[in-house]
């Protein structure tokens, strides 16, 4: 918990510094559900999330454990107020909670039920948009986008990005 709070505070300081210099910041939090493991980090991060947005930053939470977010009222509030959410294949219990939160119809549910990789449903504002993304595995684009270790090839060689490993759009749902 203490480490997570220190890291989040450092990120908030960087966001504030960038904001003062007129720069936009993108903040990616992998394993986003970990933030809500205890009440102290949950309260601190909810406050930080609001400050990120007020300082021209774009926070993105990424998790495969949507259940933890949906069962936490603070995290659920962040999800329900998010303008952009990407949902891939979801467990049955998660689908029910997401359907209630985002008013997903039965027809739309098929896009997150036993969905293939690259298929899902996006929430953009009040709209729900299904998507199907298929990429040939023998391309540079696939090697750069895949999260499968065997397919990564050049991943990391030419990309300079700092990752917090503490994994919102949540991927399962990306916020």
Read off the pTM.
0.75
Which residue would you say has higher pLDDT here, 159 or 80? 80
User: φ, ψ for residue 141 (rounded to 5)?
Assistant: -60, -45
In contact, 68 and 172? CB cutoff 8 Å:
no
Structure tokens at 94: 């998660």
In tens, the pLDDT along 108-158 reads: 999 999 998 888 999 999 999 999 887 787 888 777 777 766 655 544 443
- Which residues lie across from 122 on neighbouring strands? 86, 129
Query: For the segment 64-112, what is each residue's pLDDT rounded down to a tens digit?
Result: 878 888 899 889 988 888 889 999 999 888 999 999 999 999 999 999 9
Phi, psi of 111 (to 5 degrees): -80, -15
> 146: how many CB neighbours lie within 10 A of its CB?
16
Q: Where are the alpha helices (DSSP H) in the chain?
A: 2-20, 39-54, 66-70, 73-80, 92-102, 106-109, 140-145
Strands 25-30, 57-62: pairing is: parallel
The residue whose two tokens read 């997903």 is 104
């Amino acid at each position: 918990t203490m480490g997570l709070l220190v890291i989040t505070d450092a990120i908030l300081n960087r966001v504030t510094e960038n904001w003062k210099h007129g720069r936009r910041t993108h903040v990616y939090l992998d394993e986003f559900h970990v933030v809500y493991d205890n009440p102290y980090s949950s309260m601190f991060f909810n406050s930080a999330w609001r400050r990120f947005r007020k300082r021209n930053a774009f926070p993105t939470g990424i998790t495969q454990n949507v259940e933890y977010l949906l069962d936490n009222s603070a995290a659920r509030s962040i999800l329900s107020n998010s303008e952009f959410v990407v949902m891939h294949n979801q467990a049955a219990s998660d689908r029910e909670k997401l359907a209630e939160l985002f008013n997903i119809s039965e027809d739309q549910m098929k896009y997150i039920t036993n969905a293939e990789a690259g298929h899902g449903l996006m929430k953009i504002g009040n709209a729900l948009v299904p998507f199907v993304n298929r990429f040939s595995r023998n391309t540079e684009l696939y090697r750069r986008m895949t999260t499968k270790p065997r397919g990564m090839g050049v991943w990391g060689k030419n990309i300079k990005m700092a990752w917090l490993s503490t994994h919102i759009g949540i991927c399962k749902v990306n916020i």
